[in-house]
């Protein structure tokens, strides 16, 4: 049983002044595993003050000094790989293989930032001007509960590479995962105040960050409504804001695809991270002529997926993160049925034999119209829509008929054709015949899935301002 009640401010773990105590529940067992005392506005103001004090000296560090800091961070996070994996399983319910990936990815973020920084020139010549890229100032990094270690580390790596002192505000639903990362950051021995971490509610700690004049930049990952609230609140102080938001991604299976391979991959893309993934391919578009074959493959593939104990290596889908998420998924399954969609597999309620834990049945709907709630809104659980199309034109039209545009997937045996379809999709990223992400290429969303890009050079530049200097050799007489 853990009782977490500290923030990380100015290089030290300090008791929070907030008084709200929240239970930490293991989602696979519904057992109480700890409590967390949430920080409040005063706590985050202290964190912002510390970052503000650290910023001038940190902005003057050389590229090599920041590379050294990133290497220290990489080593410190790498040393806690096992702890990150265990916390991700215990607190979040991430299946073993996914939790292992996340724990390795966390340290890899810093290694990727080192490579980006080594190759990056902060000064360039544009015509007669010298353009200097400078750190934007104190940055706030706000993260969701569905990828705590990965989101914190990838944002932090870019911010440190740029020379921005940070205030990290992770989700209030992931305090154990945050604690492990905070300890690793402390072990890395960065100058006090360069990284500060306060867990708290969005409505007070998150809002304080959004309105505080000393915060120059917000890098946010979370839902679209929250992203809009942050953008509005930050406008008054003209904050630079990057938003990585909600998705409702389409997977287009073209009629020449090898269905035996494509359908299991498409389902994996939909059920990624227990279905709680922004990039999940949740609208699977298949040619009407091959619908019957697809339905059979969906039944056999989903029937073979193990749902249950996230520690079991055979488990593909673990529990949802909490009761609220469980209830949300039940609501969407009922909504789908009410609107006239029908079930291929799954239904309301828990899978058989799982009497405890926030487990849901992997569910796939058919007879879905793209104007139904289940096709338009992000469900954020293992509930997918299977939709038939007549031809490529219709597939592209349905895929693009969404308020969101984070990711898309295309499956085809003709790569050139798949690339032509990819070029027409309104999405920040398109994966063809694969569900493997590119971790140094720009990542972000079209339309209401976001603003700006993360990762690699694009992620670094999101924390930089361009200054243009035009010089004459002498003052004209």
Rounded-to-integer distance, Cα 253 and Cα 309, Å: 31
* 406 touches ligand NAD (CB under 6 A): yes
CB of 338 to ligand NAD, least distance (A): 23
Rounded-to-integer distance, Cα 266 and Cα 411, Å: 8
Rounded-to-integer distance, Cα 218 and Cα 167, Å: 10
* 244 touches ligand NAD (CB under 6 A): yes
Build a one-symbol-per-residue string for 152-171: x at contacts with ligand NAD by CB under 6 A, - elsewhere: -----------------x-x
Part of the chain binding ligand NAD (CB under 6 A), chosen from 80-88, 225-233, 349-357, 366-374:
225-233
Part of the chain binding ligand NAD (CB under 6 A), chosen from 33-41, 70-78, 242-250, 327-335:
242-250
Rounded-to-integer distance, Cα 240 and Cα 268, Å: 35
Part of the chain binding ligand NAD (CB under 6 A), chosen from 8-16, 33-41, 108-116, 202-210:
202-210
With H, G, I as helix, E, B as strand and everything else as coil, classify residue 189: coil
* 223 touches ligand NAD (CB under 6 A): yes
Q: Which two tokens stand for residue 195?
A: 């990284």
Among 1, 119, 203, 474, binds ligand NAD (CB under 6 A): 203
Among 188, 230, 252, 267, binds ligand NAD (CB under 6 A): 230
Q: Give DSSP secondary structure letters for 123-174.
A: EEEETTEEEEEEE-SSEEEE--STTHHHHHHHHHHHHHHHT--EEEE--TT-
Rounded-to-integer distance, Cα 183 and Cα 417, Å: 48
Contacts to ligand NAD from residues 88-147, by CB under 6 A: 142-147
* 378 touches ligand NAD (CB under 6 A): yes
330 class by beta-carbon count within 10 Å (0-12 exposed, 13-18 middle, 19+ buried): middle
Build a one-symbol-per-residue string for 427-466: x at contacts with ligand NAD by CB under 6 A, - elsewhere: ------------------x----x----------------
Among 245, 252, 263, 430, binds ligand NAD (CB under 6 A): 245
Rounded-to-integer distance, Cα 330 and Cα 60, Å: 52
* 412 touches ligand NAD (CB under 6 A): no
Q: Are 412 and 254 in contact (CB under 8 A)?
A: yes
Build a one-symbol-per-residue string for 265-304: x at contacts with ligand NAD by CB under 6 A, - elsewhere: -------------x--------------------------
125 class by beta-carbon count within 10 Å (0-12 exposed, 13-18 middle, 19+ buried): exposed
Rounded-to-integer distance, Cα 84 and Cα 99, Å: 8
Size of the site for ligand NAD (CB under 6 A): 30
203 class by beta-carbon count within 10 Å (0-12 exposed, 13-18 middle, 19+ buried): exposed
CB of 169 to ligand NAD, least distance (A): 6
- Which of 66/98 has CB closer to ligand NAD? 98
* 322 touches ligand NAD (CB under 6 A): no
* 246 touches ligand NAD (CB under 6 A): yes
CA angle 433, 436, 440 (to 5 degrees): 125
Contacts to ligand NAD from residues 136-155, by CB under 6 A: 142-147
* 18 touches ligand NAD (CB under 6 A): no
Q: Among all chains, which residue has been given the structure tokens 């020449």?
A: 256
* 240 touches ligand NAD (CB under 6 A): no
Q: Which positions touch ligand NAD (CB under 6 A)?
A: 142-147, 169, 171-172, 202-203, 206-207, 210, 221-223, 226, 229-230, 244-247, 278, 378, 380, 406, 445, 450
């Amino acid at each position: 049983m853990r009782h977490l009640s500290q923030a990380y401010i100015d290089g030290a773990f300090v008791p929070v002044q907030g008084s709200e105590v929240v239970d930490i529940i293991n989602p696979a067992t519904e057992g109480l595993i700890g409590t967390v005392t949430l920080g409040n506005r005063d706590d985050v103001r202290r964190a912002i003050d510390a970052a503000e004090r650290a910023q001038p000296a940190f902005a003057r560090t050389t590229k090599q000094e920041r590379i050294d800091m990133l290497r220290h961070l990489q080593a410190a996070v790498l040393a806690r790989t096992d702890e990150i994996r265990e916390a991700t399983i215990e607190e979040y319910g991430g299946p073993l293989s996914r939790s292992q990936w996340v724990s390795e990815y966390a340290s890899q973020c810093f290694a990727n930032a080192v490579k980006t920084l080594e190759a990056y020139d902060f000064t360039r010549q544009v015509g007669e001007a010298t353009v200097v890229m400078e750190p934007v100032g104190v940055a706030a990094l706000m993260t969701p509960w569905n990828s705590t270690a990965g989101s914190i580390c990838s944002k932090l790596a870019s911010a440190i590479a740029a020379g921005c002192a940070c205030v990290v505000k992770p989700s209030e639903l992931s305090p154990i995962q945050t604690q492990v990362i905070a300890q690793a950051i402390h072990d890395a021995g960065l100058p006090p105040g360069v990284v500060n971490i306060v867990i708290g509610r969005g409505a007070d700690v998150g809002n304080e960050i959004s309105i505080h004049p000393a915060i120059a930049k917000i890098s946010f990952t979370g839902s679209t409504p929250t992203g809009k609230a942050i953008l509005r609140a930050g406008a008054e102080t003209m904050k630079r804001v990057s938003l990585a938001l909600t998705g409702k991604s389409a997977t287009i299976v073209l009629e020449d695809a090898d269905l035996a391979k494509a359908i299991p991959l498409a389902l994996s893309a939909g059920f990624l991270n227990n279905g709680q993934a922004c990039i999940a391919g949740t609208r699977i578009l298949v040619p009407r002529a091959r619908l019957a074959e697809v339905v059979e493959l969906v039944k056999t593939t989903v029937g073979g997926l193990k749902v249950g104990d996230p520690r079991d290596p055979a488990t593909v889908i673990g529990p949802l993160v909490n009761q609220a998420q469980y209830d949300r998924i039940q609501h969407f399954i009922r909504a789908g049925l009410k609107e006239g969609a029908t079930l291929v597999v799954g239904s309301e309620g828990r899978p058989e034999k799982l009497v405890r834990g926030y487990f849901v049945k992997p569910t796939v709907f058919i007879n879905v119209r793209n104007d139904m709630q289940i096709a338009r809104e992000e469900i954020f659980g293992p509930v997918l829509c299977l939709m038939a199309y007549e031809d490529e034109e219709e597939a592209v039209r349905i895929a693009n008929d969404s308020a969101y545009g984070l990711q898309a997937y295309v499956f085809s045996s003709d790569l050139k054709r798949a690339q032509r379809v990819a070029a027409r999709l309104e999405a920040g990223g398109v994966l063809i015949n694969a569900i493997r992400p590119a971790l140094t290429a720009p990542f972000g969303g079209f339309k209401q899935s976001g603003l700006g890009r993360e990762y690699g050079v694009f992620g670094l530049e999101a924390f930089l301002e361009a200054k243009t200097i035009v010089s004459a050799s002498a003052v004209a007489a």
